[in-house]
């Protein structure tokens, strides 16, 4: 493994206290070394890239000025925090970032006292920092300061505005730093982007801002408070209308300033320490700063994988054998194919056009595919509104992100029985992003909602057919199609569309004594397990159930009448999931088979490659084979002989 060597200044920094020993004149060199260290590490080991490069100067300035961790710093979104991790004692283990058993790719409270809040998802920082500030105020801990760094698209969500609305009247000592890089993973969308651009380009505002900061630099500290009140009044009365949003919410607004000028940042942050109450500092940064290719193509370089840091060539697997596509690409291409035939189809995604492959429809039919920003709740209710007018809406949201919009699924879709089609990407264990991104709970929380159809394809052909079936005119129910991150199993995936009878499974093979019931992609693990077991003269049956709701009761009656032992397999929580649905059926009809449920256990599963996590949780091919042996008594016999 290539050793990543830090520069001479960075190699001396193990805590922010070490950083504070340096003179201001050395800070730019620290920034240069920190940026290079991130490039060196990510090029070899992979991970998020552009977002952390964009906040190198801000990271150094924050830890130089503030007394972290007593002063509490919240990063949002979390993949901005690589530099933060490196400066707070994790430089020597940073090569384990996002690897099985290594450090998390996001801030994590259990990992470091400097990680004040877990932020794998976006848009939570202002609420969290405000809560910390209110608690400190209540406890009389006046020495603490609280900083929320929100950026990389996180301000496009609704939660930050709820928090801003509260922060403005709270009187709490909180600083909100708006890292404005005009990007999330894809370019930012919506009126907020235009609003921030208006602030940035307002000549009246910028002249006033420059004059104010020049005056601040000439005044002694004792005069700062007096001037601050004048700044507040001046901003409300003099500055152009564009700056009124934050001021109207009761926050003192400062900026925009250059987020790549580390000395300016340190001076500004020190000055703001003397102004009490809620404040917002607007900084302008470039995502991918310091790596030319990342600056030019910020979406590609959000998380490029490993690459040659000299040439910029991204390392890709090369094979002479046709590879199966990613499930999300099958979704994207299939959606375009269906939309070409059905003019009522529209697509909705919350800020994930590239990740979900909705980009294919956005390119082909820009008037029929909408990116709403990081706003899952709005995405669902917008879809419901479209559905009331007869549109066939494919609302594509990552499984774990759908948790934010659960109320809308119940109230705005299910209660009104609107035929919105939810395509839940990244269902199951997603891998390196870890517990904040695992799609563990969607089967459990969706199957309890009336009217919803909940299904999961075992392969690309079934995904296409489920999408085709869901958009047919006779389908009048809300539909949930869940599928995993990554590659499928069919290189020749573009099969003709076939209608699937809702609530029907399919038998893969007959067997003896033991039946394996699977839902979704893990059915392929069961196929592999059956091949392993056949070499041992063990022949379990295998059923691909396809639908969790309505579940195929006719097939379950067949299983219960022919097999005394059942193994259920799912890429979701075993608490309330697919296995629970099977057990409910058995209990309701008086069947008493021995049932073993395999899936995601009732605990938080950390990060790692999907195959590592499947093995850990015991539902990969080997885990299924072991469960069959155990049920067949083979394992017990071997142990007795031993």
Pairing, β 421-425 against β 479-482: parallel
d(CA 291, CA 49) in angstroms, rounded, equals 10
3-state secondary structure of 73: strand
Active site residue 287: yes
The torsion angles phi and psi of 256, rounded to 5 degrees, stand at -80, 150
3-state secondary structure of 176: strand
Q: Which of 252, 287, 392, 482 is catalytic?
A: 287
Q: Which of 284, 392, 404, 482 is catalytic?
A: 404
Residue with tokens 């504070």, as numbered in its chain: 20
Among 513, 507, 596, which residue's Cα sits nearest to residue 545? 507
Phi/psi class of residue 21: alpha, beta or left (left: φ > 0; alpha: ψ in -120 to 50)?
A: alpha
CB 98 within 8 A of CB 126: no
Among 563, 615, 556, which residue's Cα sits nearest to residue 588? 556
Q: Please, what is the angle between helix 634-641 and helix 621-632, to 10°?
A: 70
Q: Which of 33, 267, 337, 376 is catalytic?
A: 376
CB-based burial label for 486 (10 Å; 0-12, 13-18, 19+): middle
Active site residue 376: yes
Q: How far is residue 614 CA from its own chain's centroid?
A: 20
| Residues linked to residue 267 through DSSP beta bridges, in sequence order | none
d(CA 275, CA 297) in angstroms, rounded, equals 38
Q: What angle do CA 383, 385, 387 make, to 5 degrees?
A: 70
Among 262, 263, 267, which residue's Cα sits nearest to residue 254? 267
Q: How far is residue 45 CA from its own chain's centroid?
A: 20
**Which residues, including other chains, have CB under 8 Å from residue 583's CB and lie 6 or more apart?**
595, 597
d(CA 609, CA 99) in angstroms, rounded, equals 7
d(CA 325, CA 346) in angstroms, rounded, equals 23
Among 464, 236, 146, 455, which residue's Cα sits nearest to residue 329? 464
Pairing, β 541-544 against β 547-549: unpaired
Q: What angle do CA 185, 188, 191 make, to 5 degrees?
A: 160
Q: Which residues are catalytic?
A: 287, 376, 404
């Amino acid at each position: 493994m290539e050793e990543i060597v830090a520069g001479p200044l960075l190699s001396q920094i193990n805590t922010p206290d070490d950083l504070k020993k340096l003179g201001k004149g050395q800070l730019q060199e620290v920034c240069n070394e920190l940026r290079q260290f991130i490039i060196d590490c990510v090029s070899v080991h992979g991970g998020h890239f552009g977002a952390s490069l964009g906040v190198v100067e801000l990271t150094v300035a924050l830890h130089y000025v503030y007394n972290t961790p007593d002063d509490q710093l919240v990063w949002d979104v979390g993949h901005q925090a690589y530099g933060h991790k490196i400066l707070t004692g994790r430089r020597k283990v940073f090569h384990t970032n996002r690897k099985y058993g290594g450090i998390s790719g996001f801030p994590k409270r259990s990992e470091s006292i400097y990680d004040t809040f877990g932020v794998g998802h976006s848009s939570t920082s202002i609420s969290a920092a405000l809560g910390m500030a209110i608690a400190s105020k209540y406890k009389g801990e006046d020495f603490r300061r609280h900083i929320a760094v929100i950026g990389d698209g996180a301000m496009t969500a609704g939660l930050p505005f709820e928090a801003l609305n509260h922060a403005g009247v709270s009187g709490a000592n909180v600083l909100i730093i708006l890292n404005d890089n005009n990007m999330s993973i894809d370019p930012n969308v919506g009126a907020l982007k235009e609003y921030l651009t208006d602030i940035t380009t307002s000549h009246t505002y910028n002249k006033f801002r420059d004059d104010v900061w020049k005056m601040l630099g000439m005044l002694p500290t004792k005069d700062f408070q007096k001037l601050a009140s004048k700044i507040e009044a001046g901003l409300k009365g003099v500055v152009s209308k564009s700056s009124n949003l934050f001021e109207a919410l009761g926050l003192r607004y400062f900026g925009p300033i250059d987020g790549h000028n580390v000395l300016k940042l340190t001076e500004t942050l020190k000055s703001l320490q003397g102004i009490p109450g809620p404040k917002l500092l607007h900084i302008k940064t470039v995502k991918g700063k310091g790596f030319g290719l990342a600056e030019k193509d910020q979406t590609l370089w959000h998380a490029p994988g490993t690459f040659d840091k000299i040439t910029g060539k991204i390392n890709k697997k090369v094979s002479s054998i046709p590879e199966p596509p990613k499930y999300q690409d099958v979704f994207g291409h299939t959606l375009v194919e269906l939309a070409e035939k059905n003019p009522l189809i529209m697509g909705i995604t919350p800020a994930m056009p590239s990740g979900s492959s909705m980009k294919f429809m956005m390119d082909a039919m820009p008037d029929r595919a909408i990116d709403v920003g990081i706003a899952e709740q709005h995405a669902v209710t917008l879809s419901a509104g479209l559905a009331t007018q007869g549109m066939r809406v494919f609302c594509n949201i990552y499984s774990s992100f759908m948790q934010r919009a659960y109320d809308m699924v119940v109230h705005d879709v299910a209660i009104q029985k609107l035929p919105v089609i939810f395509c839940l990407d990244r269902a199951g264990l997603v891998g390196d992003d870890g517990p904040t991104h695992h799609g563990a709970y969607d089967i459990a929380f969706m199957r309890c909602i009336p009217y919803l159809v909940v299904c999961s394809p075992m392969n690309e052909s079934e995904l296409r057919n489920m999408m085709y079936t869901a958009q047919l005119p006779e389908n009048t129910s809300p539909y949930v199609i869940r599928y995993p991150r990554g590659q499928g199993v069919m290189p020749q995936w573009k099969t003709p569309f076939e209608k699937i009878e809702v609530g029907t499974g399919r038998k893969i093979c007959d067997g003896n004594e033991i039946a394996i019931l699977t839902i979704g992609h893990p059915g392929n693990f069961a196929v592999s397990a059956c091949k392993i077991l056949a070499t041992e003269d063990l022949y379990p049956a295998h059923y691909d159930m396809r639908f969790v709701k309505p579940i195929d009761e006719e097939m379950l009656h067949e299983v219960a009448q022919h097999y005394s032992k059942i193994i259920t397999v799912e890429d979701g929580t075993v608490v309330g999931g697919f296995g629970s649905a099977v057990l409910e059926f058995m209990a309701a009809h008086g069947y008493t088979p021995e049932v073993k449920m395999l899936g995601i256990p009732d605990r938080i599963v950390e990060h790692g490659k999907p195959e590592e996590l499947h093995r850990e949780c015991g539902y990969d091919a080997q885990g299924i084979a072991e469960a069959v042996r155990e049920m067949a008594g083979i394992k017990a016999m071997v142990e007795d002989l031993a």
